[in-house]
Chains A and B, each alone.
Chain A
Amino acid sequence: MAMKGFLPLTLTLLSIIATATMIATVLLVSLFFEYHLHINLKFEYDKSYSDLLMLSFLRLQYNSTYSGYKVLAERDVNGFTQDMKDFLKKKIELLGDVECFRIANSSMIIFNTSCSSGEPYEYAGEAFIFKPYNPNSLVEEFTLTYNKVKR
C-alpha cells in the first residue's frame, strides 16, 4: 500500500528518461550527419591537395634536363646529391605549406625531414613512377607523407 503513492513519480521518471533518450537520439543523428558532411568534404580536399602536391613536385624543373620525376627515378644511376635534396625540400615546403615530409617507396625511406613533433603522419599522396634502369621492377610506388604548417 505504501508503495502505491510512488507510481506517478516512477511514471514521470520513466517518461523523462524515454523523452531524453529520444531527444539525444535526434541530436546525435543530426550531429553525425553534420560531421559526416564535413569529414567527407575535408577528405576530398585533402586528397586533391595531396595528389596535386605530388604531381607538382614530380613536375618541378630541377635544371634544364632534370625534373623532380627524373631526379627520383634515376637516383640509383645518377645519385641523389645534397643539392637535389635541398632543392626538393625547399620546393615541397613552399608548394604545400609543409612543415615536414617523408618520401618513401614500398620498402624504404628515400628522403625525410624532421618535424617539431615526431614523424610526418597527417596527409599522404601516392604516385607510381617509371624506373627505366631498375633490374628488379620497372615501376616504383612513391608515397609522400607530410604535415602542414600549423597556423
Chain B
Amino acid sequence: MKSVRKRQGKGAIFTISSVLEALFSVGILGIGFWFFLTKIVDIHVATLTADNERHAMNLANVLLSYEGLVYEKDGKLQRGVLDVRKLDSFAYGGRSQQLEPNSSLVKDAFRNYKKITFSYPNTISYITITDLENCTEQEGCKVWVATAVGPVNFDENFVKKFIDCLVEHLELTSVQAWSRRLEGCAVGAGFGAFIGSIVPGIGTGLGAAIGCGIGLLTSFFDPHDVSTCGVNSIPESVKYFFTSGSFVAAQGLPALIRLPDGTTHACRIMVGVIEWR
C-alpha cells in the first residue's frame, strides 16, 4: 500500500514538472516572438531615426550660420540672426496658423520650390522659419519655407542588376517553365480572341495572336523570381526611408530675424529630414 502511494506521488511530481516545463516553453516562445516583433524592430528603427534627428539638428545649426541667410555686420556673420532680406530670397514666404506650415503653404512652397545647394546625401529636408512676432489672429504667423535636396547617390544601376538577375533565373530547358508559358499563351489567346471579336477591325485571329504574345511575355519569368530580383535590386540607399520628427522638426530651435529697420524678432527654425539609405 505504502509503495503504491509512493509511486502515485512520484508520478504527480513528474506531471507537475512536465506541465511547468510545457508552460514555460510556451512562455519562452511567446516572449521570443514578442521580443523579435517589437523590441528588435523598435531598436532598429530608433537607430536609423536617431541619425535623421542628428542630421536635422546639424542642418538647422549650419543654416543658422549660413552666409546666404544670416545677418552680416562689418563683414562678420552673426550666427543665429537671420536677415529678413536674405530670407525672402532664400525661401518661399507665406502665413500659417500653426508653428509648422499648413498644407496649402507647403503646396505653395513646393510649387515655388527653391533648391538649396547643401544637404546630406540621399535626403530631402524641409526648412520652416516662423516669425513669432509677426502674427495676426486671422492669418497666423509669417512663415518661410524652403526645401533642401542633397546629392542622390545610387551606387549601381539597379535596372541593369534587375535584368541580369532575371536573365540568370531564365529557364529555357525546363518542361514546367514551358508549360507555364504555354498556359499563359493559351489564356492570353482566349482573352485576346474574345476582345478581338468584340472590337471591330481587330478580328478573333489577330486578337488571339496579340493575347498569346502578351500571355507568353507575362508568364515568361516565374513571378517569384521577378519579385526576388526586384527586392534584391533595390539599392541599399532606398531600402530604408525615415523622417526626423521628434525634436528639431517638431519643436524647432530658437533664433532671431533682423528687419531692415534694425529691430529683431524672435523666430523658430524647424528642419525635418527625409532620408533614404
User: Which one of A16, A64, A95 contacts B262 once the chains associate, using CB atoms below 8 Å?
Assistant: A64
A-side contacts of B133, CB under 8 Å: 94
How far is B16's CA from A12's CA once the two chains are assembled, in angstroms?
A: 10
Are the C-beta atoms of A6 and B13 separated by less than 8 Å? yes
* Chain B positions 37 through 73: 1 when the CB is less than 8 Å from some CB of chain A, otherwise 0: 0011011001100100110010011001000000000
Interface residues of A in 59-110 (CB under 8 A from B): 59-61, 64, 91, 94-97
A-side contacts of B253, CB under 8 Å: 48-49, 52
Are the C-beta atoms of B80 and A52 separated by less than 8 Å? yes
In the complex, how many angstroms separate the beta carbon of A38 from the nearest chain B beta carbon?
7
In this complex, how many residues of chain A approach chain B with their Cβ under 8 Å: the count is 38
A-side contacts of B60, CB under 8 Å: 48
User: Which one of B13, B47, B78, B80 contacts A9 once the chains associate, using CB atoms below 8 Å?
Assistant: B13
B-side contacts of A30, CB under 8 Å: 35, 39-40, 43
How far is B54's CA from A27's CA once the two chains are assembled, in angstroms?
A: 26
In the complex, how many angstroms separate the beta carbon of A40 from the nearest chain B beta carbon?
8
How far is B47's CA from A11's CA once the two chains are assembled, in angstroms?
A: 40
In the complex, how many angstroms separate the beta carbon of B155 from the nearest chain A beta carbon?
27
Are the C-beta atoms of A16 and B20 separated by less than 8 Å? yes
How far is B79's CA from A56's CA once the two chains are assembled, in angstroms?
A: 9
Interface residues of B in 114-133 (CB under 8 A from A): 132-133
Are the C-beta atoms of A8 and B14 separated by less than 8 Å? yes
Are the C-beta atoms of A19 and B80 separated by less than 8 Å? no
- Would you call A111 an interface residue if the criterion is a C-beta within 8 Å of the partner chain's C-beta atoms? no
Are the C-beta atoms of B247 and A45 separated by less than 8 Å? yes
- Would you call A135 an interface residue if the criterion is a C-beta within 8 Å of the partner chain's C-beta atoms? no
How far is B254's CA from A49's CA once the two chains are assembled, in angstroms?
A: 7
User: Which one of B17, B24, B39, B251 contacts A19 once the chains associate, using CB atoms below 8 Å?
Assistant: B24
Are the C-beta atoms of A16 and B24 separated by less than 8 Å? yes
- Would you call B205 an interface residue if the criterion is a C-beta within 8 Å of the partner chain's C-beta atoms? no
Given A8-B17, A16-B20, A95-B266, are A53 and B43 neighbors across the interface (CB < 8 Å)? no
Nearest A residue to B78 via CB reads: A59
Nearest B residue to A42 via CB reads: B247
- Would you call A122 an interface residue if the criterion is a C-beta within 8 Å of the partner chain's C-beta atoms? no
B-side contacts of A5, CB under 8 Å: 9-10, 13
20 contacts between A and B (CB under 8 A): A5-B10, A12-B20, A12-B21, A30-B39, A41-B54, A41-B246, A42-B247, A45-B248, A48-B60, A52-B64, A52-B253, A52-B255, A55-B80, A56-B80, A60-B264, A61-B262, A91-B266, A94-B132, A94-B266, A96-B254
Taking A45-B247, A61-B262 as known contacts, 18 extra A-B pairs with beta carbons closer than 8 A to each other, sorted by chain A number, are A6-B13, A8-B14, A16-B24, A23-B28, A30-B35, A30-B40, A34-B39, A34-B46, A37-B46, A41-B247, A45-B248, A45-B251, A49-B251, A52-B80, A60-B256, A64-B262, A95-B132, A95-B254
Q: Using CB atoms and an 8 Å cutoff, list the residues of chain B in contact with chain A.
A: 9-10, 13-14, 16-17, 20-21, 24, 28, 31, 35, 39-40, 42-43, 46-47, 50, 53-54, 57, 60-61, 64, 78-81, 132-133, 246-248, 251, 253-256, 258, 262-264, 266
